[in-house]
A and B are shown apart, each in its own frame.
Chain A
Amino acid sequence: MMLGPAAAIGGLVAWGTVVGIDLVSFPQGLLSRPLIVGAGAGLLLGNLEDGLRVGLLLELFALDVLPVGAARYPDYGAGTVGAVLFSTAGPWPQTLGLATLFALGFAVLGGVSLQWLRELNGRALQRQMAGLAAGDAATVARLQYRGLLGDLFRSAMLAGIAVAAAQFLREWLPLGERQLIVTAVAIGAGVAAAATGALRGAGRGARLRWLAVGVGIGLTAAVLR
Chain B
Amino acid sequence: MTTGFVRASLRLLGVQAAWNYERMTGLGMGYAAEPLLEDLKSADPARHAEAQIRSAEYFNSHPYLAGLALGALVRAEYDLVPGPQIARLRTALTSPLGALGDQLFWAGLVPAVMAAGIVAVVYGAGIWALLAAVLGYNVCRVATGVWALRTGLAHGAKVGSAIGSSWLPAAAQRIGLLAGLLVGIALPLASVWLLQAEHAWELPVAAGTITVGLVAAWTLGPRTNAVRFGLTAIGLAALLAWGLP
Contact = CB atoms under 8 A, between A and B. Distances in A.
B18 A48 contact: no
A139 to B, nearest CB: 9
Residue of B138, B194, B208 contacting most chain A CB atoms (<10 Å): B194
Interface in B166-190: 176-190
Main secondary structure of the interface of A (DSSP, over half): helix
B227 A97 contact: no
Interface residues of B, number: 99
A137 B52 contact: yes
A185 B205 contact: yes
A60 interface: yes
B231 A192 contact: no
Contacts of B199: 180
Interface stretch (A2-10, A140-148, A157-165): A140-148
Main secondary structure of the interface of B (DSSP, over half): helix
Residue of A27, A31, A126, A216 contacting most chain B CB atoms (<10 Å): A27
Given A66-B107, A140-B34, A193-B229, A184 B238 contact: no
Residue of B50, B208, B230 contacting most chain A CB atoms (<10 Å): B230
Contact of A25 (B17, B22, B181, B244): B17
Contacts, number: 326
Contacts of B121: 35, 52, 56
Contact of B23 (A125, A192, A216): A125
B85 interface: no
15 contacts: A26-B13, A26-B14, A26-B17, A28-B64, A93-B198, A122-B21, A144-B18, A146-B18, A181-B244, A187-B206, A189-B229, A210-B180, A212-B184, A214-B183, A218-B189
Given A98-B238, A188-B208, A196-B217, 16 more contacts: A26-B13, A60-B187, A63-B114, A105-B231, A121-B18, A121-B19, A122-B21, A134-B49, A136-B52, A143-B18, A174-B242, A181-B240, A184-B205, A207-B180, A218-B186, A221-B185
